[in-house]
Structure 1
């Protein structure tokens, strides 16, 4: 405190309480010295000395606390590759120690960049840093809420999990920051760039070391060893992290046994699905591996050479190589030609689709226009008369039969002929002529037309 004013004791006369059971008079006053002390007085003295208002003083105190906290972070050891990971507001405010299975244990300790690669020393060092920063007493000193110790408890829980090899393995087994997706058989791209990182990712779950994918020039025995190892892959993933908690306080033994049985069944199912996923990965890789394709071609060539030798046919290696190159070129050309044909077919289909769509729209417009012409001409009734509802319905239905039976071009031509003549009788005759045409070719059954006959 930087106050310059001296603290002056205050003398106040206070009555002394009587110890008798039934006092009748007050005791005589005595002198007591009161000295102003405590946080409230210290803040008052600080404001008096600095001449700041309450808001200004609060802002100054907050800035000083932030400066001290930043200085504390800088002075903390950053050795062993742990460093200082930023803490998001969401992480600090939503982490709940009661729902610990939903927590990202590595993010809680600031080890998101290391995760399963973090050593036990790094985990303990990261825990120490978090404890120093988030201890309730430290929060109170920085003006925080000392009663909100949820994140502090999450830090303790994270150490409890990650410092125990068995519990850590359970968490690493389901770490959701790692993708379980695998390339499918149709995935395009460089084989080694597509599959290499996936096998590296999956290899950490192996109970025994497994070989890496290798490169395009890997020898045959190395490639075969790779696939043999992965077809016999044994994963240590247990999926126990997903187990439903057993209520140890429950006296119902049947409930406990059911929960244990259900957990065991769910773990077995997840294990089965994960093994199938890895097997599918290996199957897809084997089918797409260009090295295996080359080995099969070499085997085929060797069988052919052996077969020809048995028949007394000598094969010039140079000519065989030339023939193979010609065949490969022909296959490449055929493949390229097929790609062009597929592209042209796709383009033609798109054009046909657009043409059909345009024809459909034009047909719809023509149908509406023909119906409107019939309506405008009073459904071909004599002048001064009103068509009945039955006549209207019959004519509209028969117009639909005609429009649906004619080709789109014929429907458009009918509309054109109706537009081209002002004579009502000629208009009706054009429609009747179209109806007769449909009857003649059998597109419409006899007797369907009653109005336009």
Structure 2
């Protein structure tokens, strides 16, 4: 550790014209002097100490630091973006850049469309440090790898441009995951195998999040959402990367337009073929999905249950209607029987009343007959008989059946007592006259 040093710092000069008598104002007292130890730190001091320790000049230290930095970059990227270089890559023709695998050129084959811009930049730095023509020339290896260096630059240009990279990813067949084979399905997990396929296809979706296949525990709504999404898949995938180069010669404009139309038609055809390919892929997955069979079985069971419940309800309602009809018929029959009995009883009562009235009328007529029509000494004359019977008929016609019965009862009690019989008739005539049913003088005998 370095020893402490005392640093003398002079006070600033006083302004011109300043005087202690006029301008000095005491605001407080000065504290006692304090001695502090300062320790040199920071990157500049460390660089200075490194040069002193190794006795290097500025240029020597910078060169050595650059070499160590390159070595560190190579070591840092070895574990993540390093892969063995295929000798065939070193023989690539930079002019045929459309056919080269840009990810393989940069050593990112295992990442492909998942590679981040930072990984692409780091891979580019690593490749440049290894294949730069100046470095090759310095090591005496000649310029045989200049072509590959141009491939590296082209790959980096394509993959760091979002538009160009999307166009390249659209036709990158090495990033596609093929559907699982029967052998793979027999030995592997169906959901995991198909999920990898749809994860690969999901990179082309314009809509996010993209629903995945799920597993055997997925609900019916989740499964339906998955298949609805993929049957209506909105893809950004395009095929401009495979376009035929358009001539730059302005004099041959017809050829240029022809090439542009040819490219447009080719892109539409490839887009249609890709849509059909994805539809076949979803159809194949759907046909193998055991969950669909399970849901359909459950749906059939649910429909059968609802049908049975509906039939049971219809049967119950029919039985209720039948019981109601039978009850109504029973009540109707009971009402008809009751009405019939009532009619019969009324008829019987009427017959009985009629017979009683006839009997009572006979009683009234016999009552006057039994007393010889009130004749004294000998048989009654025809005129007297007619007069008495006329009054009896008159009374019978003015009274009700009940009153007729009461009068017959009184006459039965009177027997052959002519006075009592006549008195009963006379009282009845008076009652009828008082009630206005008979007029004065209308009865000739009983007055």
- Tell me what 2:217 maps to: 217
Q: Does 1:207 align with 2:206?
A: yes
| 1:164-191, Cα deviation, whole Å (9 max, x unpaired) | 0000011111112134644589995353
| 1:384-432, Cα deviation, whole Å (9 max, x unpaired) | xxxxxxxxxxxxxxxxxxxxxxxxxxxxxxxxxxxxxxxxxxxxxxxxx
**Which secondary structure state, in structure 1, belongs to the residue aligned with residue 285 of structure 2?**
helix
**Structure 2: runs of 5 or more not aligned:** 1-66, 315-447
Q: Does 1:132 align with 2:147?
A: no
RMSD between aligned alpha carbons?
2.8
Q: Does 1:238 align with 2:238?
A: yes
Q: Does 1:120 align with 2:128?
A: no
Instruction: Name the CA distance, whole Å, in 1 between partners of 2:236 and 2:112.
Output: 17
| 1:103-126, Cα deviation, whole Å (9 max, x unpaired) | 110111111121111111111121
Q: Does 1:278 align with 2:249?
A: no
Q: How many residues align?
A: 245
Out of 137, 141, 156, the position equivalent to 1:144 is 141
Structure-to-structure mapping, 1:35-434, within 5 angstroms: 76-79=74-77, 82-92=80-90, 94-146=91-143, 148-179=145-176, 181-182=178-179, 189=186, 190-209=189-208, 210-312=210-312
| 1:283-309, Cα deviation, whole Å (9 max, x unpaired) | 222222111111111111111112222
Instruction: Name the CA distance, whole Å, in 2 between partners of 1:225 and 1:267.
Output: 30
Instruction: Name the CA distance, whole Å, in 1 between partners of 2:92 and 2:68.
Output: 23
**Structure 1: runs of 5 or more not aligned:** 1-68, 315-453
Contact 1:82 1:111 in 2 (8 A): no
Pair 110,223 (structure 1): closer, same or farther in 2 beyond 3 Å: same
Instruction: Name the CA distance, whole Å, in 1 between partners of 2:202 and 2:115.
Output: 17
Contact 2:124 2:156 in 1 (8 A): yes
| 1:10-42, Cα deviation, whole Å (9 max, x unpaired) | xxxxxxxxxxxxxxxxxxxxxxxxxxxxxxxxx
Contact 1:185 1:284 in 2 (8 A): no
Instruction: Name the CA distance, whole Å, in 2 between partners of 1:220 and 1:80.
Output: 46
Instruction: Name the CA distance, whole Å, in 2 between partners of 1:97 and 1:240.
Output: 20
**Which secondary structure state, in structure 2, belongs to the residue aligned with residue 137 of structure 1?**
helix
**Which secondary structure state, in structure 2, belongs to the residue aligned with residue 217 of structure 1?**
coil
| 1:46-68, Cα deviation, whole Å (9 max, x unpaired) | xxxxxxxxxxxxxxxxxxxxxxx
TM-score, length-normalised on structure 2? 0.51
TM-score, length-normalised on structure 1? 0.50
Pair 108,187 (structure 1): closer, same or farther in 2 beyond 3 Å: closer
**Which secondary structure state, in structure 2, belongs to the residue aligned with residue 213 of structure 1?**
coil
Instruction: Name the CA distance, whole Å, in 1 between partners of 2:82 and 2:68.
Output: 12
Structure-to-structure mapping, 1:434-445, within 5 angstroms: none
Pair 167,111 (structure 1): closer, same or farther in 2 beyond 3 Å: same
Contact 1:80 1:122 in 2 (8 A): no
Contact 2:73 2:126 in 1 (8 A): no
**Which secondary structure state, in structure 2, belongs to the residue aligned with residue 177 of structure 1?**
helix
Instruction: Name the CA distance, whole Å, in 2 between partners of 1:106 and 1:188.
Output: 30
> How many angstroms does 1:78 deviate by?
1.8
**Which secondary structure state, in structure 1, belongs to the residue aligned with residue 312 of structure 2?**
coil
Contact 1:95 1:154 in 2 (8 A): yes
Instruction: Name the CA distance, whole Å, in 1 between partners of 2:167 and 2:287.
Output: 33
Contact 2:105 2:152 in 1 (8 A): yes
Instruction: Name the CA distance, whole Å, in 1 between partners of 2:221 and 2:111.
Output: 34
Instruction: Name the CA distance, whole Å, in 1 between partners of 2:215 and 2:92.
Output: 44
| 1:75-113, Cα deviation, whole Å (9 max, x unpaired) | 625259743222121111x21110000111011111112
